[in-house]
Structure 1
Amino acid sequence: MTKNAPINAQQIPEYSAKSLYPEPFASMVKHRTRRKLGDYFGLTNFGINFTTLAPGSISALKHHHSKQDEFIYIISGTPTLVYGDNEFLMSPGDCFGFKANSGMAHQLLNRSSSDVTYIEVGDRLPADSVEYPYDDLALVQKNDGTWSVLHKDGSPY
């Protein structure tokens, strides 16, 4: 494969690294697969993932970012977007944006019997943090771009 020509997104290898989430949270996203399209092409200002949610799986724990804007575009399937206290059934062609530092937690759920595929885009501003209002988890990005995985009281996992 060459990176100097278009490629079908499904030909880009699935990202195989384990989740940043510690257990028991990691098991909750084990049926989510990502193909890191932005990384494949060496993009550094923003990330793009081609994500598949198997039936019964979730995109992430309900969360919001301090600095990272996010955007999703549904390709196939009918996921449920949980956004704050609201739920929205989405269909192919639907999209939604999540503004950083809004305090509005979100996630996608696949309650259907078919796979859901979507594109997710996020910027890569440094010093981001991720809050999980319903779980004892916090992610804090260090200056070198790596993440600290913490309990809400600041102690490490």
Structure 2
Amino acid sequence: MPKIDKDAAPRSSGTRYPPPHDEPCKLREWRRLGDAAGLTQFGVSLFRLAPGVWSSQRHWHSHEDEFVYVLTGELVLVTDKGEDILRAGDCAGFPAGQRDGHCLQNRSTDDAEILVVGSRNDEDHGEYSDIDMVFTSGRYSGKSGYRHKDGSPY
């Protein structure tokens, strides 16, 4: 198995969320380690969240499991049950179909790094718990999108 050079892995940053929902996530950055390894059944990404940056809006997935592991820093995990502090070595998992919106927020003064692992399912869809937005299926085929909860487009 070839070693993955994380510095050479494909990089991404920002968000595709429509305004104003994009604001807390605009400065997030990640490296697509799973893509660098040629993985197709699940994704693995190394995220860097600067102070004030969120991993996402609070959301849940219909068909995808998601797992996060904190490598460095301190983050606030926000779910329907409230807030928990996650520090280096802490982890959390979110089973597909569980309607418990989640996100990570960096409220500290230092950068945080997290490893995010999730399944890849083109039938996945879900909604954002705190805002009027849902995401539609087809993320991996390039047919994804965001809509209001009543189905109207952004």
Provide the TM-score with structure 1 as the length reference: 0.90
What is the alpha-carbon distance in structure 1 between the residues aligned to residue 42 and residue 140 of structure 2? 17
Aligned Cα RMSD in Å?
Answer: 1.8
Q: How many residue pairs are counted as aligned between the two chains? A: 153
Match of 1:41 in 2: 37
Describe the SS at the equivalent of 2:22: helix
Matches within 5 A, 1:75-154: 75-142=71-138, 145=141, 146-154=143-151
CA displacement 1:74-102 (0-9 Å, x = unmatched) = 00001111121321111111111101111
CA displacement 1:110-149 (0-9 Å, x = unmatched) = 0100000010011012211021121111111149732021
What is the alpha-carbon distance in structure 2 between the residues aligned to residue 87 and residue 56 of structure 1? 16
Describe the SS at the equivalent of 1:38: helix
> Residue 25 of structure 2: which of 25, 29, 51 is its match?
29
What is the alpha-carbon distance in structure 1 between the residues aligned to residue 97 and residue 25 of structure 2? 24
The gaps in structure 1 that reach 5 residues or longer are: none
Equivalent position amino acid for 1:44 in 2: T
Task: Give the Å deviation of 1:13.
Answer: 4.0
Matches within 5 A, 1:15-26: 15-16=12-13, 19-26=15-22
The gaps in structure 2 that reach 5 residues or longer are: none
What is the alpha-carbon distance in structure 2 between the residues aligned to residue 144 and residue 117 of structure 1? 24
Equivalent position amino acid for 2:39 in 1: L
Match of 1:6 in 2: 3
Distance 1:104 1:51, change over 3 A: same
Match of 2:54 in 1: 58
Q: Which runs of 4+ in 1 moved over 3 A?
A: none
Equivalent position amino acid for 1:75 in 2: L
Task: Give the Å deviation of 1:51.
Answer: 0.2
